[in-house]
Amino acid sequence: MVATIEHEFDLVAKLNYAPYFLTVHDIVQFARSRGILCQGRGSAANSAICYCLGITSVDPTKHDLLFERFVSAARDEPPDIDVDFEHERREEVIQYIYQRYGRERAGLAATVITYRSKLAIREVGKVLGLTPDTIGALSKATWGRGNGLGCQSAPNIDPA
């Protein structure tokens, strides 16, 4: 573990990423001190530094994970530490970030996922606990980009 951490420290120092790691650590520590569930994920789990800071819960030395998939001098891009926070209390974390670092130095980023109608129906059907037959019938009732299925026609679809 010591050799792994020394290797990571050297690269993080060379690329001047230490402030970023410490900022993420601070945010995670805030959340945990308030009992807000959070977990680092993605390629950050390849980092012994993230593990030692408590950002991730995976010891990369036990799983033979490659740090360079997360941070590499060969790639000209900064690391991306993904941390999921408990949905119901995410706003507390956001407000902490604004208070601690300033609104002018923080921003929200989001990914908007759009589904085509058939896939959207299948995903919602699973969440609602519908049977595969019902999901299939609802999905088959659409065509093209889904313009054929309205709220009024859905109750009339026979799943059989």
- List average pLDDT for each run of 10 residues in the chain, which is 160 residues long: 90 95 98 97 93 94 89 88 94 97 90 80 91 90 62 57
Q: Model pTM?
A: 0.70
3-class SS of residue 40: strand
Residues 98 and 51 in one domain: yes
Could you tell me which residues are beta bridge partners of residue 82? 41
Residue 59: predicted pLDDT: 92
Report how many domains make up the chain: 2
Q: What local confidence, expressed as pLDDT, does residue 112 receive?
A: 78
Residue 48: inside a domain:
yes
Per-residue pLDDT, 153 = 56
Identify whether residues 66 and 97 lie together within a single domain.
yes
pLDDT of residue 102: 96
Provide the residue count of the chain: 160
Query: Could you list the residue range(s) of the whole structural domain that residue 85 is in?
Result: 2-105
Q: Does residue 124 belong to any structural domain of this protein?
A: yes
Look at residue 66 in the predicted model and tell me its pLDDT. Answer: 86
d(CA 80, CA 5): 18
Looking at the fold, whether 139 and 62 belong to one and the same domain comes out as no
Evaluate whether residue 112 is within a structural domain. Answer: no
7 and 43 together in one domain: yes
Q: At what angle do helices 18-33 and 2-14 cross, to 10 degrees?
A: 120
CA distance 11 to 5: 10
